[in-house]
Amino acid sequence: MSLQNGYTILNPSTLDHLVARIEKTKQDAFIRKGSFSTDIIWQGRRFVFPNPKKNVTNNMWIFKSVITDVKAYILTHRIRDKDKLPVNHWNIKNKNYSGIITATDLDHAYWRVAFLNEYISMKTYLRGLELKDKTLRLAALANLSSMKEYLVIKDGKVTKETMMLKYDPILHKVYNNIRFTCYEHMMNIAKMLEDDFICYKTDCVYYKDTENNRLLVQGYLDSVAMEWKQLIEPQKPTIEQIKSKEI
C-alpha cells in the first residue's frame, strides 16, 4: 500500500470523534501515533491530528508546504539520483592528530539545500526559518522519504496487525538528493584541505586550524551560497564516534 502524501489537518480534539465514528460504522481504516501527530487513513483519505502542543499544532503547516512545493517541482523537473556519499567521513591519517583544530558548521544545512535546489519555495524557506524548533524542519523534509507502520482497524476495532505504507519513490529520491548534496559539499572541502582535513559529521567539517584553511573553507561555502558559523577549538570527535554514525 502506498502512502498518500496529501492529507487534511484536523483539530486534535476531534480525534476521538472520528475513531468513534469508524467504530460505530464498523469500517476498516489504519491508525498511527507519531511524535508530531496521530494519523488515520480512512475511506482513501489521510487525516492528521497534531499532538496537542502549541508549537506543534500551530506549525503543522510546514509538512504540507514542503510536500506541496516538492510535488510542484517534480512536475516540471526530472529528478536524477546523486552519487551516494557517507553521512560521516574520517581522514585516517589524522586519527592521532593532537594539534589545534577548528570546525565550520553549516546552518540549517538540509533546509538551505532544499531551497537552493528549488525543491521548496522562498516563502516556505523563510517561514520555516522562523520556527524555534528546528526538528520540525528536519521532520518535514524526512517526511518525504519515510516508510510508516500503521495499526490496522478492522470492522471498527483497532487490531495488533500492522501495515507498512511505502514512501513515494520520487519524493524519496528528492530527500536523498538533499542529504547527498550536503555531504558532497563536505567531501569537496575534504579534498580541498587535503592532509589538513580531519573529518566531517553530516554538516560540520573539522580540520587543522590555520588562517588559510579557514579562508579556504569559508570561501568555498560562500561560493555555493551555504550559510555557516565557525566553531572555535571544538572537541575533536573520536574515530569510534564517526564510525558508529556512518550510514
pLDDT at site 53: 67
pLDDT at site 239: 64
The pLDDT tens digits for 196-244 are 999 999 999 999 999 999 999 999 999 999 999 999 877 777 766 665 5
List the single range of 79-93, 99-113, 229-243 with lowest mean pLDDT: 229-243
Name the amino acid, one letter, at 14.
T
pLDDT at site 6: 59
**Integer angstrom CA distances of residue 148 from 45, 173, 186, 224:** 16, 17, 30, 34
Q: Cell match 516508510: residue?
A: 147
pLDDT at site 219: 98
What's the whole-model pTM score?
A: 0.78
Identify the burial level of 96 via C-beta atoms within 10 angstroms of its C-beta, where 0-12 means exposed, 13-18 middle and 19 or more buried: exposed
Q: Give 137's contacts (C-beta < 8 A, 6+ positions apart).
A: 62, 108, 110, 111, 128, 131
First to last CA, the chain: 27
Q: Distance between CA 236 and CA 53 in Å, rounded?
A: 37
DSSP 175-240: HHHHHHHHHHHHHHHHHHHGGGEEEEETTEEEEE--HHHHHHHHHHHHHTT--EEEESSPPPPPHH
pLDDT at site 244: 55
The number of helices, as runs of H, and strands, as runs of E, in the chain is 9, 11
Higher per-residue pLDDT: 177 or 97: 177
pLDDT at site 57: 63
The pLDDT tens digits for 112-158 are 999 999 999 999 999 999 998 888 899 899 989 877 788 999 999 99
Residue 203, all three cell numbers: 554538516
pLDDT at site 237: 75
Q: Give 24's contacts (C-beta < 8 A, 6+ positions apart).
A: 156
pLDDT at site 243: 58
CA 57 to chain centre: 19
Q: Give 96's contacts (C-beta < 8 A, 6+ positions apart).
A: none
Q: Distance between CA 234 and CA 226 in Å, rounded?
A: 21
Q: Distance between CA 39 and CA 15 in Å, rounded?
A: 9
Q: Distance between CA 148 and CA 46 in Å, rounded?
A: 13
Quick check: helix, strand or coil at residue 56? helix
pLDDT at site 232: 81
Q: Distance between CA 225 and CA 247 in Å, rounded?
A: 26
Name the amino acid, one letter, at 21.
R
Higher per-residue pLDDT: 22 or 48: 22
The pLDDT tens digits for 32-68 are 888 778 889 888 788 888 887 656 667 788 988 999 9
